[in-house]
Amino acid sequence: MIKSMTAFSSEETTRDNITVSVEIRCYNSRHLDLVIRLPSRCQNLEDTVRQQASAVIQRGRVEIRVGVKNDAVGVVGCNINEDLADAHYNALVALRNRYGLPDPVMLDHMLKINGVIEPAEPEIDASTIREILEETLSRGLEATERMREAEGRALAADIDERINRIEALLEQIERQTGGLLEQCRTKLEDRINELTRGMVDIDPGRIAQEAAFMADRSDISEEITRAKSHLDQFRKRMAAAEPAGKPLNFLLQEFSREFNTMGSKVGNAAVSHVIVTVKTEIEKIREQVQNAE
């Protein structure tokens, strides 16, 4: 089953005056890249969030932002970040001395610095936060999966249509390259007659030998057989339950290799034109597969 790597969800849970919000954003990426942003009071829950998310999503860049708010009571006091205050005070004094400024460093200068004084919120039971966070994250991941699956169905429909088109074009190539030996013999005889204007007798045995050699060099039956096998594998991968993005991308590389070989071997202009059309479809599928998990 194909899932898109792009999705968004936002969930919020309030219980016992504690509100936990979870926002999930998913983007394309070659590997699983989890970026988790937690409030300072919840840093110990990062592994919990990481394990819960990675159990659902196997590929892509996933940004998870968690917010926690206690609505039970107001501010119970203030916290002073003394290290930050000392650093800024020393910096202000250094600037004053450097430029010979007469004004002293005042308290209102320090109060303008973010983080020096912050409201202190009441403590929240860690187990309560964990419980609410796991529940909210679970709903967020479910919503994310629904969006990824919906977009994946749209991707699959477009890819399936293009795969059917490639299959029809492959059958056309197979028909047009049928009877290759006879085509080479006729082409060789016409070329010799054109060059000699009929003044040289053509040895049928030698013509047959040369035609067989030309046909062998231009034969693409093996490439056609392998391409058909790749088509079957592609459909099976799309229908499988496992993430399909990486194996589908690999199969597309094999597709390209087979049709590149066909294009270099075949001497038929009409067939070459069909091969170019197939390669265009492969590139369009590749663009879609880049969005698949």
**Number of domains within the chain:** 2
- The reply to whether 163 and 242 lie within a common domain is yes
CATH code at position 238: 1.20.140
In a domain, 101, yes or no: yes
In a domain, 224, yes or no: yes
CA–CA distance, 89 with 91 (Å, rounded to integer)? 5
93 is in which domain, residue-wise?
77-120
State residue 146's pLDDT score. 95
Tens of pLDDT, residue by residue over 4-50, are 999 999 999 998 888 999 999 999 998 899 999 998 888 899 999 99
- The reply to whether 174 and 285 lie within a common domain is yes
Question: Which residue from 220, 221, 255 is spatially nearest to 235, judged by alpha carbons?
Answer: 255
- The reply to whether 161 and 276 lie within a common domain is yes
In a domain, 244, yes or no: yes
pLDDT above 60 (res 75)? no
pLDDT above 70 (res 258)? yes
Tens of pLDDT, residue by residue over 169-194, are 999 888 877 655 455 555 655 565 56
- The reply to whether 161 and 278 lie within a common domain is yes
Task: Name the average pLDDT for the chain.
Answer: 83
In a domain, 63, yes or no: no
Geometric angle at alpha carbon 277, from 275 and 283, rounded to 5°: 105
Contact 34, 50 (CB under 8 A): yes
